[in-house]
Structure 1
Amino acid sequence: MYETSQYHKRIFTPKNCSQQIDSSFGNVLLYGAGSDIIKNELGAYGEKILGSSSSYVQSNIGRYISNPQYYFQVNEDYVKNKLKVILFPFLHKGHWMRAADISGGEFSFKPPIHDINAPDLYIPMMAFGTYLVLAGYFLGITTKFSPEALGVQFTTGLLCWLLQVLLLEATLHSLGSGEVPLLDIVAYGGYIFVNASIILICRIIWDYVFCLVTFFECFCMGVFLIKTMKRILIGEVRSFEKHSTKRNYLLILMALSQIPLLFWLGNVGVGAK
């Protein structure tokens, strides 16, 4: 009994209690430090995941949308030479490949100001505005002008632009090239308003040449798009050798589709009162 009571006394002495408290406090500190380490590791891992996800999203957005400022780096010489290529593509003596720009260890293409074959958005937007001005003038000289009629032409122009973009996207996608930036396709689709503006100018001067001029502009736009799409397939996505027969049929179909689009754009004031 004495030994047992002495044992209990030894266990519950203040000194032993202090040792137990110190031990428990040490365990708390130990596990607390481990908790901080785990938090830091999880935080670093989370930042790594978020960073990789952010870079993945940015890379994919850049692939399909690219930098809008790139498409407005133009000058007077580029605009004049580009209009010649669009209106008379069969007279273009140079190559159709885009100029590469390797700087900082990254591959890219030179902006329009340094490469006539680069797509831009300046000419499509200016051509679209010119088309609307000419359409309004034509409606005026034919006594059919009204805000509603001009609004119809604005909507018609946007629909044609959208259809052209969808057509080019579908053609490239069918040929296995889905990595072309979206703004490139928007630019190529908007060049049709250059030809549409020429058609309206000819209608204003002499309406009887409407059909002849429209067919000529359809031919020019078709040649320009075929050359451009072939260049994309050869130099930018390198899938030119695949499905050659299918490719030729799709390119010809794309060129022929310019006929209804340009006739639609050229028929200003149809149905207007």
Structure 2
Amino acid sequence: MQDQGAPMPYPQYGYPQPNAQSHQDPSMYMAGPPAGMYNPAAQAPMSPPGYYPQQGMPFMPMGGGGGGGEQSNFMPAQFLQNPVMANMAMQYGQSLVGQGKEALDRELNKYVSTSRIKYYFSVDTAYVAKKLALLLFPFTHRDWSVKYNPDEPVQPRYELNAPDLYIPAMAFVTYLLIGGVSLGIQERFSPEGLGIQASTALVWAIIEVLAIWVTLYIMNIQTKLTSFDILAFSSYKYVGMIVAVIASFIMPSAYHLALIYVSAATMFFLIRSLKVQILPESSHDSYGEQNTSFTGEGSKRRTYLLLFMGGLQPLMMWWLTRQIARP
């Protein structure tokens, strides 16, 4: 039989059970060592917060405080360095661009057919060279008919007499550049003057197309000429305008002679080209359809329209070059 004063072990841990005297000793509950004893920890300097003396490096907090901004700036770099995530981001961006292009094409097709616009720019180098020669020397040309496929007209690169918008667009830009050079030679160049020249030419081109459309409506003339056809035929005059302005560089008096020739050539080209479209010689129009409205009063109205469009070209050519040609 054991003595009751002897320490009894805990049955679950095997530690000796403290006796009643140890419970009465308050020194065992003190946080530090007993008074009078040396404590090395108390003499050591306190470490600054956020610093590990064992590792010798600062403590980087995971979140909150001042370290959150550095961690958030570091995450995009890790994201972009991941090949999988970068590839996914690139594919997502390409899909967004494709969707935006499709939406833009749908909106444009509501007002203008993109396939129709591509038709007017379907040209090649051989076509451009032949068409420029035809615009400057149309008097020797014989065949002015335009060939058409069963579904759509032949592209300009395969048909010299078909209208296009490539030459008018390039001629318009060249006209502005030549005008700037001419004003520079005369020491009258200014960016504002060049902008006024461009805006004036553009406004007059729009007014000319609208005037022709109003004339078609007032005279009740039914034709298959589209607005792009009229814009193309009425803009071929910029080729002759460029020749007239360049002639003034060589000799100022040559401007009027060149203007007279290119005006006559442009008027002849326009009348012969539109005559096939507006006033066919036979009872079938250029599309091969039967037409019975080209006799009597209808034929006179169409002839007046041709004369109006042809006579308008020399007037517009003189008006748009009189200020920039070298006197």
Q: Aligned-pair distance for 1:268?
A: 2.8
2:145 counterpart of 1:97:
yes
Q: Aligned-pair distance for 1:162?
A: 1.6
Contact kept, 8 Å, 2:221 with 2:298, in 1: the verdict is: no
The alignment's TM-score, normalised by the length of structure 2, stands at: 0.58
Which residue among 186, 199, 203 is the counterpart of 2:231?
A: 186
Contact kept, 8 Å, 1:230 with 1:240, in 2: the verdict is: no
Other-structure match for 1:144: 188
Structure 1, unaligned stretches of length 5 or more? 1-57
Other-structure match for 1:68: 117
Other-structure match for 1:153: 197
Residue-by-residue CA offset, 1:82-124 (whole Å, 9 max, x unaligned): 112212221113x21111113xxxx211101110111111100
In the aligned structure 2, how far is the partner of 1:59 from the partner of 1:179? Answer: 20
Partner-residue secondary structure (3-state), 1:187: helix
Other-structure match for 2:303: 248
Query: Which protein, 1 or 2, shows the higher relative CO under an 8 Å CA cutoff with sep ≥ 6?
Result: 1
Bigger CA radius of gyration: 2
Give the counterpart letter for 1:185 in structure 2. I
Between Structure 1 and Structure 2, which shows a larger proportion of helix residues? 1
The alignment's TM-score, normalised by the length of structure 1, stands at: 0.68
Which residue among 159, 170, 175 is the counterpart of 1:115?
A: 159
Partner-residue secondary structure (3-state), 2:192: helix
Identity of aligned residues (%): 34
Number of residue pairs matched? 206
Following superposition of structure 1 onto structure 2, how do residues 230-249 of structure 1 map, counting pairs within 5 Å? 230-233=275-278, 234=280, 235-236=286-287, 238=291, 239-241=293-295, 243-249=298-304
Q: Aligned-pair distance for 1:171?
A: 4.6
2:103 counterpart of 1:84:
no
Give the counterpart letter for 1:227 in structure 2. R
RMSD of aligned residue pairs (Cα, Å):
2.4
Contact kept, 8 Å, 2:221 with 2:302, in 1: the verdict is: no
Structure 2, unaligned stretches of length 5 or more? 1-108, 281-285
Partner-residue secondary structure (3-state), 2:253: helix
In the aligned structure 1, how far is the partner of 2:111 from the partner of 2:183? Answer: 44
Partner-residue secondary structure (3-state), 2:149: strand
2:250 counterpart of 1:205:
yes
Which residue among 244, 249, 258 is the counterpart of 2:313?
A: 258
2:268 counterpart of 1:220:
no
In the aligned structure 2, how far is the partner of 1:219 from the partner of 1:137? Answer: 26
Contact kept, 8 Å, 1:71 with 1:121, in 2: the verdict is: yes
In the aligned structure 1, how far is the partner of 2:316 from the partner of 2:133? Answer: 21
Give the counterpart letter for 1:89 in structure 2. P
Other-structure match for 1:18: none
Q: Aligned-pair distance for 1:178?
A: 4.5
Q: Aligned-pair distance for 1:218?
A: 1.4
In the aligned structure 1, how far is the partner of 2:162 from the partner of 2:229? Answer: 9
Partner-residue secondary structure (3-state), 1:124: helix
Identify which range, 149-158 or 261-270, moves more after superposition: 261-270
